[in-house]
A and B are shown apart, each in its own frame.
Chain A
Amino acid sequence: MRVKYLALGLSLAVAGSAVIASKATAQEGIFVPLLTYRTGPFAGSGQPIANGMNDYLQMLNERDGGIGGVKLLIEECETGYDTKKGVECYEQVKAKKPVVVNPYSTGITLQLIPKAAVDKIPILSMAYGLSASAVGNDFPWIFNPPATYWDGLSMMFRYIGGKEGGLDKLKGKTIGYVFFDGGYGREPIPLLEQFAKDYGFEVKLYPVPAAEMQNQSAQWLNVRRDKPSWMIMWGWGAMNPTAVKEAAKINFPMDKFIGIWWSGGEDDARPAGADAKGYLTLNFNGVGTSYPAIKDIQKFVVEKGKSQVDKTKVGENLYNRGVYNSVLIAEAIRNAQKISGKKVVTGEDVRRGFETLQISAARWKELGLTDFGAPITSVSCTDHNGHHAAYMQQWDGAKWVKVSDWIAPMKDKVRPLLEAAAKDYVTKNQPWPKRTEPCDKSS
């Protein structure tokens, strides 16, 4: 009998504490989980991003007491860049009513896309994930600003065109594409093939399977044989430094080797040192610690020992990329508070916050991040990406140097293809829910 009462008491206590905990969560803060990977083969890219994301949000808590006076409840879940673990993380954080989920992996994003509308949790896949999810009418819960992979590819071609004296000069030439052989690396291939038809060049594909990330000599021997005029790379984790080293090994001209924005970490170029001099990548965030907001991170978070970052790596490219990601989250939450009139917002409010996201040059300045990113002006109810500009940076042997102005994507080429891809996705995944969420006036 005593045991029975004890069990009953215990279960009541547990149930009670669960209710209290959920109330406390709702009252005390806005839950922002971060799916990160500090371990495993991709930790080299994952760690700086995790630190940047975490530190900016922590800084808002420390400096401003959160957003609109409400603390942010930040919680990391380790995915190891593994899709299975990523989905587990999502299921784990879902119960705590997150206002947004950042999968930080195209593979995980693809798995979460069908879940988001059901669970009413917006997914932010910042400049990664499914390019077609930019079509807001079909994917009301998915956001991928500031630019899609297809935008990135089109920016590369604008740059290449500029160097060649016009894209028509590519006729008869060969362009090589070395990529991580997975959803991420295969994402821009349809547009690349379209460009090949439009401009009359030949495409050579060099897939790198995950198991061969650090063993790419065969791929680069093929590059040596095919002699492409330009090489484009979609690499991640350990694939990047290996590719840069291999390119240098075959004497490929490094100033004709362009990586996407995920191939431009310091740790991607540094192992090759001076041999990597000239290597180019796209970027959409500022690099360095000269921004007042980054200085605030140093003051309020790093110096107080509340960050996992190595102090010398604050301001590096991928760290600042994480900061950029958190700026988008914070601004969407701020917007959501404004639109809904509530302090403690929900996932549904933040979805509306993303649809009305605007970060003008003046707003970047107010945030203490002058010119840190191109103004975000085009995200809307129908366009969840905005197709914003990026710039080209070049490795000078020791650090990244900005070598171009903002390069706008070829929206006229990209958008129709995105619309078609979105339609195709919806057709293949029937029954796909029709959008019922109304658009806010400002979007």
Chain B
Amino acid sequence: MDILYKIFIDPFVQMGGAPDLLVQTLWEGLVGGVLYALIALGFVLIFKASGVFNFAQGIMVVFAALTLVGLHEHGVPAYVALALTIAVMFGLAFTIERLVLRPLVNQPDIILFMATFGMTYFLIGLGELVFGGNPKIMIASELGLPRGAIEIKMLGGFVSLQKIDIAAAIIASIMVTVLAIFFQKTRIGRALRAVADSHKAALSVGISLEQIWVIVWFAAGIVALATGIMWGARSDVSFALEIIALKALPVLILGGFTSIPGAIVGGVIIGVGEKLGEFYWGPLLGSGIESWLAYVIALIFLLFRPQGLFGERIIERI
């Protein structure tokens, strides 16, 4: 009986007893969720264009952030470093298309997937060789990102909003919206969907596979850079950021691998769900449940919608 009370009643009593903490938890979940959505977006873009789960997305986040900070450490002004990092991400997209994707056109998806494994290890090595393995401090204030917190007295307590989190939420939302419009409403977006359906068919109607891949990998690189800046500002820039990227996996399961809105909604559900779960139900299970709770949430959704919330229902002729 006691356990039932602890599961079904006590958490809600706590929510009512300290509503400021509930608001704080929701805010933390929302910010985390938006950042997960940003990471998931990188995966979705590439999956849409090539039908491949890009295992290298996590290391792209680290590589982009390290390039930015590394250039600044060598005396390059912050905004110039930002521009140069964008150029580096374009160069990376171009190189990947030339050296990895182009020779693998029409190969089974699993081959492309394995190629992204190879890219991961290559980028880890390259990043460590060029920038070293030691953690670096994100140049958040040099980039004009705000520091400090806004403390709002409310509901008999206070809610603390970190300015960097507010900025992260706004930037991520703008980025997601722009990308969604770009890929939904433009000719390139339609071409992208055609490429995702069939490489051969897209080629037959004159779509340049090479061009689409470079654009998509470049867009994923920009998303990785934004993710790296935001996560890096919350902690530091190190190779540990790569692990965070795997948090996008339950987001993708939930939102669907091909849906930009799915990545956003999935990110927010996972972010808020895991924070609420950890805060109110975690102590019942010895805490530290966040890392697997995200997958449980995703699996529950999968029971009802196997293709994810916004994923395309694929009907295949047998």
Interface hub of B137, B235, B275, B290 (most chain A Cβ within 10 A): B235
CB-defined interface of B278-296 with A at 8 Å, one 1/0 digit per residue?
Answer: 1100110011101100000
CB-defined interface of B216-254 with A at 8 Å, one 1/0 digit per residue?
Answer: 000000000000000100111011111110110000000
The answer to whether A41 and B242 touch (CB under 8 A), given A208-B288, A221-B28, is yes
Q: Which of A3-11, A119-127, A212-220 contacts B (4 or more CB under 8 A)?
A: A212-220
**CB of B118 within 8 Å of the partner chain:** no
Chain A: interface secondary structure?
A: helix
Q: Which of A26-34, A165-173, A238-246, A296-304 contacts B (4 or more CB under 8 A)?
A: A238-246
Asked if residues B135 and A238 are in contact (CB atoms below 8 Å), the reply is yes
Nearest-CB distance from B148 to chain A (Å)? 9
The answer to whether A218 and B279 touch (CB under 8 A), given A212-B290, A224-B21, A271-B137, is yes
Asked if residues B290 and A39 are in contact (CB atoms below 8 Å), the reply is no
The one of A41, A205, A217, A250 that contacts B240, using a Cβ cutoff of 8 Å: A41
**CB of B24 within 8 Å of the partner chain:** yes
Nearest-CB distance from B28 to chain A (Å)? 4
Asked if residues A218 and B283 are in contact (CB atoms below 8 Å), the reply is no
Asked if residues A270 and B137 are in contact (CB atoms below 8 Å), the reply is yes
The answer to whether A238 and B291 touch (CB under 8 A), given A39-B128, A214-B244, is no
Complex CA–CA separation, A206 to B25 (angstroms): 16
Nearest-CB distance from B318 to chain A (Å)? 38
What is the size category of the interface that chain B forms with chain A? Answer: 35 or more
**CB of B133 within 8 Å of the partner chain:** yes
Chain B's closest residue to A313 (CB) is B134
Nearest-CB distance from B61 to chain A (Å)? 11
B residues less than 8 Å from A221 (CB atoms): 21, 24-25, 28, 275, 279
The answer to whether A44 and B160 touch (CB under 8 A), given A39-B239, A207-B288, A238-B238, is no
Complex CA–CA separation, A267 to B246 (angstroms): 25
Asked if residues A245 and B235 are in contact (CB atoms below 8 Å), the reply is yes
Asked if residues A41 and B274 are in contact (CB atoms below 8 Å), the reply is no
Interface hits, A264-286 → B, CB 8 Å: 267, 270-271
The one of B162, B238, B291 that contacts A44, using a Cβ cutoff of 8 Å: B238
**CB of B207 within 8 Å of the partner chain:** no
Asked if residues B247 and A41 are in contact (CB atoms below 8 Å), the reply is no
Nearest-CB distance from A209 to chain B (Å)? 4
CB-defined interface of A14-49 with B at 8 Å, one 1/0 digit per residue?
Answer: 000000000000000000000000111111101110
**CB of B18 within 8 Å of the partner chain:** yes
Nearest-CB distance from A277 to chain B (Å)? 15
The interface on chain A, measured as residues whose beta carbon lies within 8 A of the other chain's beta carbons, has a size of: 40
Complex CA–CA separation, A40 to B132 (angstroms): 10
Interface hits, B143-194 → A, CB 8 Å: 149, 160, 162
Asked if residues B135 and A267 are in contact (CB atoms below 8 Å), the reply is yes
**CB of B42 within 8 Å of the partner chain:** no
Nearest-CB distance from A265 to chain B (Å)? 10
A residues less than 8 Å from B231 (CB atoms): 214
Instruction: A39-B239, A214-B235, A242-B234 given; name 7 further pairs at CB < 8 Å.
Output: A44-B133, A214-B241, A217-B32, A218-B278, A218-B290, A221-B279, A225-B21
> Would you give 13 A-B contacts (Cβ < 8 Å), ordered by A?
A39-B239, A41-B240, A41-B243, A44-B135, A206-B287, A206-B288, A209-B290, A214-B240, A215-B244, A221-B28, A238-B236, A238-B240, A267-B135
List residues of B whose CB falls within 8 A of some A CB: 18, 21, 24-25, 28, 32, 124, 128, 132-135, 137, 149, 160, 162, 231, 234-236, 238-244, 246-247, 274-275, 278-279, 282-283, 286-288, 290-291
